Structure 1
Amino acid sequence: MCGIAGIFDLYERRPIDADILSRMNDIQSHRGPDDRGIHIESGIGFAHRRLSIIDLSFGHQPLSNEDGTVWVIFNGEIYNFKALMDDLSRRGHIFRTRCDTEVIVHAWEEWGEKCVHRFRGMFAFAIWDRKQETVFLARDRLGIKPLYYGLLPDKRLVFGSELKALLVHPDLPRHLDPLAVEDYFAFGYIPDPRTIFSSVHKLAPGHTLTLCRGSVIPEPRQYWDAIFEPRALELEETIEKTLVEKIREAVDIRLIADVPLGAFLSGGVDSSAVVAMMAQLSDKPVHTCSIGFSDPAFDESNYAQQVAHRYGTDHYHAQVNQDDFGLVDRLAGIYDEPYADSSAIPTYRVCELARQQVKVALSGDGGDELFAGYRRYRWHLHEQRIRDLLPLSLRRPLFGRLGRIYPKLDWAPRVFRAKTTFQALARDTVEAYFHSVAIISEGLRNSFFSEDMRRDLQGYSALEVLKEHACHGPKHPLLQVQYLDMKTYLPGDILTKVDRASMAHGLEVRVPLLDHPLVEWVGTLDPSLKYQSGEGKYIFKRALRPYLSDEILYRPKMGFAVPLAAWFRGPLRERVRTVVTGRNLTETGFFEMKSLQRLVDQHLSGLRDYSAPIWSLLMFEAFLRQTLKGESAITHESESPFRKVV
């Protein structure tokens, strides 16, 4: 895995500032501690940091074709590079290395922009074609690898793997985008292609951008999308067999490495499935890694140990104190943009632990989106059955009024409150799903945004992100929310979290369940094979019964979690008061500070649980202080967070 950065003069061939490009490169040294390289021509500069995984002796980047007219910088892995290399060699291309990077150069020469259709893997890369005076940017289909780009006032374009690389350039405008602020406080992250800065964009998953000197920046072009087109039902036994074969093959092609390789093992279904396949494909014990927590309510390490014992893995386990809040401030420097998924803390720790043993780790990320594993899907489908009984024109006034009377269903029976809400029934399908995934409700967001902020939004709501994607996706209620998650939550939250946490430690993470041929095949399955009788991942779990116990397959989902509410009423109490009502948030003009004060008071008194909004505000303030103002982090971290190692 690597970090890339570049500067391209869109209209002239002005000299590239080598010092700025070098600093853009080196600020991403954590992504590639093994090697660095820079290539500069008139009006174009490429920079690269390398984490050596394959062909350790060669593969230095930037890398060119034979005559130096095509150059590439690349972050990721092309898993089918050997087959492509053979194909391109037969077509007359000459290779100097045995690494996947050189395949991209010759694939561009052979197929141009369509080369991305040939690649199976995770990638973000940039190509400079001197003859065409063109820069070509591409990002993989699911958004596993990141790519940011922004236009400077003097018509130069800067790009990089992380936002911090672009922020090195002194001419990059740093105006905060109010729409991105609204998105952040709704989702807890900023969905592609928007970033916190109005001058910078993320290249969206499955998109390319072709920049020709002398032309304006075009809209990115989509080359792939997740398609959900269920085919006729087959025998479940046949589907189960095919599914296991496809997962095994997706794992197998991700075992290619010239460095130590292992896997995350949480004890959940997805990571356990990956480890089970790895164990069958390896003639040596698989290296597995997990972390546990001192609080049993958050600890699932016992399940990881069960899987490790069954498959005889070389299992490495550490326990982290549940009060591991030393990372609260450091996260802002890792993620660059405001990012409010608190599971970034344990994710950072498990990557830290894994890197002590291996340089590449496989994970089970993507299984919930692919096979409908989230609990919220269950509630959404339950509510949808009720919504289908009445038209929206009747539901909206009826349940809307009930929702206003009992906005939290405080007087409703607990069993009903757990399954549905009046607010959800008063909305259409996409609005209802937005209501369920928003970390801060629209009403609460509006209450703590200032009048100036609401005016700047001009009626915009983060709901529009989901509505725009829904226009292009399936209409079946389950497939629709799966599609929405694959366009937003998966790349914006899950994959961003893992990329930044792993790269902070120079660890490459591969995600076999997001192998795009597997994703495309699963898209042809009938929804009933994903969710049946109240059970998500129905066919996935049935297919894995020969490999995992029922205790692993059918236990309640836990996931990484941290006790935010207790932290904010305990060891972080004073910090919450100081930060949430302090100078940095006040100076933005985004917030109604009296509302923030009430929010803090009600949480600290125990009247309400506002841990999600408070965490979001803490992370936003840390972004303002560190990324925008360049101030130092406030750290409370001890020398080692790990209590014991097994």
Structure 2
Amino acid sequence: MCAIFGILGEHDEKKAKDALALLSHRGGDFCGITQGQNLFFAHHKLSITGTNSDSNQPFSYEKILLSFNGEIYNYKELRADLSCEFNFKTQSEAEVIAASYLKWGVNFVLHLRGMFAIALLDDEILYLFRDRLGKKPLFYLHVNAFIFASEIKALVPFLHSIEMDEDALLSYLSFLAPTPPFTFFKNIKKLAAGEYLIFKDSKVEIKRYFDLLDTTPSLITNRDEAVFLVQNALEEAINIRLATDVPMASLLSGGIDSAAINAYAKKASMDIQTYTLGYKEFAKYDERQNASLSASLLGVKNRAVEISQREFDESCDIVLDALDEPLNDPAAVPLYLLFGHIKKDGYKVVLSGEGSDELFLGYRQYFEFLDIEKLTNLKNKNWLSGYFHSNFSMNREWERYKRVFDGSLLFRTTGENFTDLQKNVSMKRNVRDNESLKYIQNYRETFLASSHSDESIWYSYIDLHLFQAEHYLTKLDRLSMAHSIESRTPFLDHKLASLVFSIDPKIRYMDGVTKSLLKSALKPMLDEKILSRRKKGFSNPFMEYLIESKKISLIKEVNEKTGIFKKEILDEHIKKAANGGFKQHIWGLYVLSVWLKKYLL
């Protein structure tokens, strides 16, 4: 796990090295730089599986110059397969990637299993690859030169001026994070999950090399077979992520995802230290009691980390700086503090359960949306459409029913926050109804053009691309790497995900039970007390902290200078948040205000 950074074109060497230094937290074990005319290729290394100098990068191999961030879990198998054609001189993943490219061209990426952001220079052609499900980030800027980096902060110094990207703002308000290719910094772009970029003759071309919708729908229709295959695929996905040359820990909540990971690790004879969060002033939010019971049932060690409001307040600005741009996730601060404790205890790798909810329908609202979808079949619904139009409500539920009767797309990610009508009411600019669809249109068109038709597959597909890749995985990557910790997410193994997409979708939801398929698969591994426990989620007292610290006043302060939102509506939102409503809306506006004040005011 590392940082990659590079420049193709004219550049100032000192400025390039200063920008590279901004990424040093992602890997302090080695820093490598390859320079040439109009070339600056660099790498910060965090040693996980290759701890000797053979794994140092950038890596030069025949005509290839390579720098990559991530883990290739099948690199030993690939090395064995390629050894008859290539005389390998190291044991490194980088050499295997270079050899794979020489054999298969850009299709080499299809042979890789893992998480990665890869920069590969072949003579004068640069290729950038982001892994299939978006675990590792990759940003780029094309000004006079072409510059790429693992984090935005290394690209900002090369901007002629800082301007906010309007599409980033609007997609952030809608979906908790800017949607690809946008970032809040105008002209800085990001690759989406499963994409690769070609930079040739000063031109940028983006292509897709992987799509979950390429799977054959309903290939597996027998539930017992589906359970068996999920059991095997999940066990393999976890086992290949247990390989490491450094100490490994795991997150443990009260839910089944983290419990499953630790159960399989225990089965593989890995005695992993687990960590759980608690809150000093607000015990009702934490899961220490449930996690303690899970740890006891699983037979694993557990450490409960308790954080206070003082720690939350003191770390808030540090966390938002680490994220580089607005990300509406109130759990970011507690997670950063938790990783800090894990780092102090000497761990460099952490296992986490991201992706399970999206793959196995773990959110109750998936089932609610499936029910509401049925209303589209009503033959006489014009009067209902008229009723909703004439009885406006700021609640999202109102707009969702309106969509059904208007015939517009109902589900737009679990992370949908400000609806278009909420934005129109709240902002001084005009926001048209359904305007946010432009940010998910390409995903929807891909779904409609695929062989899949069940809307639950659409729910999983768009959530994996946006709610996971651009929201949860962004948070996980930045905050773990801020402490030089590699995070591994077994549920987001692309083979496991592809398997789930090939199962008859009705098997996932017919009985109306969240994660029904996964729970069936885990029955031999987990105690019924864990399997039947009600989902709680990673909740925390962020709004109480924001109000108590008086930091919430920043929202009004910044809006007075920017005039983005209507004052009276903003006041109403803040008032409702204090009483438990619109909480994530307000946190999102606070995070946005911090960024606006730092970069534009």
**TM more than 0.5:** yes
Match of 2:165 in 1: 177
Match of 1:614 in 2: 586
Quickly say closer, same or farther: Cα 1:168–1:408, change in 2 above 3 A. Answer: closer
C-alpha distance in structure 2 between counterparts of 1:421 and 1:168, whole Å: 42
Q: Does 1:402 align with 2:388?
A: yes
Quickly say closer, same or farther: Cα 1:590–1:364, change in 2 above 3 A. Answer: same
What does residue range 243-322 of structure 1 map to in structure 2 within 5 Å?
Answer: 243-282=230-269, 284-294=270-280, 295-321=282-308
The question of whether the paired residues in 1 share the 8 Å contact of 2:413 and 2:459 is answered with no
The question of whether the paired residues in 2 share the 8 Å contact of 1:173 and 1:199 is answered with no
The question of whether the paired residues in 1 share the 8 Å contact of 2:421 and 2:433 is answered with no
Q: Does 1:101 align with 2:94?
A: yes
Q: Does 1:385 align with 2:374?
A: yes
Quickly say closer, same or farther: Cα 1:230–1:217, change in 2 above 3 A. Answer: closer
**Displacement of 1:276:** 0.7
Alignment counterpart, residue 85 of structure 1, candidates 64, 79, 84: 79
What does residue range 203-214 of structure 1 map to in structure 2 within 5 Å?
Answer: 203-212=191-200, 214=201
**Displacement of 1:589:** 4.7
C-alpha distance in structure 2 between counterparts of 1:100 and 1:561, whole Å: 38
Give the residue type in structure 2 aligned to 1:210: I
Q: Does 1:165 align with 2:154?
A: yes
Match of 1:423 in 2: 402
The question of whether the paired residues in 2 share the 8 Å contact of 1:332 and 1:627 is answered with no
The question of whether the paired residues in 2 share the 8 Å contact of 1:4 and 1:74 is answered with yes
C-alpha distance in structure 1 between counterparts of 2:128 and 2:457, whole Å: 30
3-state SS of the aligned residue for 1:47?
A: strand
Q: Does 1:20 align with 2:8?
A: no
Alignment counterpart, residue 198 of structure 1, candidates 186, 189, 192: 186
Match of 1:581 in 2: 556
Question: TM-score of the superposition, structure 1-length normalised?
Answer: 0.86
C-alpha distance in structure 2 between counterparts of 1:379 and 1:537, whole Å: 14
Give the residue type in structure 1 aligned to 2:103: E
Quickly say closer, same or farther: Cα 1:250–1:379, change in 2 above 3 A. Answer: same
**Displacement of 1:400:** 4.8
Match of 1:641 in 2: none
The question of whether the paired residues in 1 share the 8 Å contact of 2:414 and 2:467 is answered with no
The question of whether the paired residues in 1 share the 8 Å contact of 2:2 and 2:70 is answered with yes
Q: Does 1:449 align with 2:435?
A: no
The question of whether the paired residues in 1 share the 8 Å contact of 2:415 and 2:467 is answered with no
Give the residue type in structure 2 aligned to 1:17: D
Q: Does 1:224 align with 2:210?
A: yes
C-alpha distance in structure 1 between counterparts of 2:487 and 2:500, whole Å: 22
The question of whether the paired residues in 1 share the 8 Å contact of 2:74 and 2:113 is answered with yes
Quickly say closer, same or farther: Cα 1:420–1:548, change in 2 above 3 A. Answer: farther
Give the residue type in structure 2 aligned to 1:148: F
The question of whether the paired residues in 1 share the 8 Å contact of 2:367 and 2:512 is answered with yes
C-alpha distance in structure 1 between counterparts of 2:576 and 2:241, whole Å: 49
C-alpha distance in structure 2 between counterparts of 1:164 and 1:184, whole Å: 19
Match of 1:414 in 2: none
Quickly say closer, same or farther: Cα 1:458–1:533, change in 2 above 3 A. Answer: closer
Percent identical pairs in the alignment equals 31
C-alpha distance in structure 2 between counterparts of 1:60 and 1:348, whole Å: 28
Match of 2:229 in 1: 242
**Displacement of 1:211:** 1.1
Quickly say closer, same or farther: Cα 1:563–1:397, change in 2 above 3 A. Answer: farther
C-alpha distance in structure 2 between counterparts of 1:406 and 1:196, whole Å: 31
**Displacement of 1:611:** 2.4
Match of 2:548 in 1: 571
The question of whether the paired residues in 2 share the 8 Å contact of 1:147 and 1:202 is answered with yes
Question: Which runs of 5 or more residues in structure 1 are unaligned?
Answer: 410-416, 630-646
The question of whether the paired residues in 1 share the 8 Å contact of 2:424 and 2:432 is answered with no
C-alpha distance in structure 2 between counterparts of 1:395 and 1:224, whole Å: 40
C-alpha distance in structure 2 between counterparts of 1:264 and 1:48, whole Å: 28
Give the residue type in structure 2 aligned to 1:600: I
Quickly say closer, same or farther: Cα 1:108–1:260, change in 2 above 3 A. Answer: same
Match of 1:516 in 2: 494
C-alpha distance in structure 1 between counterparts of 2:399 and 2:570, whole Å: 29
Q: Deviations over 1:366-422 (max 9, x none)?
A: 1011111112201101211233334xxx5365245236426268xxxxxxx999964
C-alpha distance in structure 2 between counterparts of 1:600 and 1:523, whole Å: 41
The question of whether the paired residues in 1 share the 8 Å contact of 2:218 and 2:505 is answered with no
Give the residue type in structure 1 aligned to 2:137: P
Quickly say closer, same or farther: Cα 1:426–1:210, change in 2 above 3 A. Answer: same
The question of whether the paired residues in 1 share the 8 Å contact of 2:134 and 2:473 is answered with yes
Q: Does 1:547 align with 2:525?
A: yes
**Displacement of 1:336:** 0.7
3-state SS of the aligned residue for 2:548?
A: coil
The question of whether the paired residues in 1 share the 8 Å contact of 2:286 and 2:540 is answered with no
What does residue range 340-489 of structure 1 map to in structure 2 within 5 Å?
Answer: 340-357=328-345, 358-390=347-379, 394-395=380-381, 398-402=384-388, 404-405=390-391, 407=393, 422-428=401-407, 430=409, 432-434=410-412, 437-451=415-429, 454=430, 461-473=435-447, 474-489=452-467
C-alpha distance in structure 2 between counterparts of 1:160 and 1:276, whole Å: 36
**Displacement of 1:306:** 2.4
The question of whether the paired residues in 2 share the 8 Å contact of 1:262 and 1:360 is answered with yes
C-alpha distance in structure 2 between counterparts of 1:423 and 1:297, whole Å: 35
**Displacement of 1:619:** 0.5
Q: Does 1:149 align with 2:145?
A: no
Quickly say closer, same or farther: Cα 1:435–1:499, change in 2 above 3 A. Answer: closer
The question of whether the paired residues in 1 share the 8 Å contact of 2:413 and 2:466 is answered with no
Q: Which moved more, 1:420-429 or 1:40-49?
A: 420-429
The question of whether the paired residues in 2 share the 8 Å contact of 1:289 and 1:353 is answered with no
Q: Which moved more, 1:299-308 or 1:120-129?
A: 299-308
The question of whether the paired residues in 1 share the 8 Å contact of 2:5 and 2:149 is answered with yes
Match of 1:640 in 2: none
The question of whether the paired residues in 2 share the 8 Å contact of 1:333 and 1:626 is answered with no
Q: Deviations over 1:164-220 (max 9, x none)?
A: 010122x444221112111111112111221112301101111111112x24222x1
The question of whether the paired residues in 2 share the 8 Å contact of 1:33 and 1:51 is answered with yes
Quickly say closer, same or farther: Cα 1:560–1:602, change in 2 above 3 A. Answer: closer
Q: Deviations over 1:73-126 (max 9, x none)?
A: 1100010000111122211x2323212122112222222211111110000010
Quickly say closer, same or farther: Cα 1:602–1:56, change in 2 above 3 A. Answer: closer
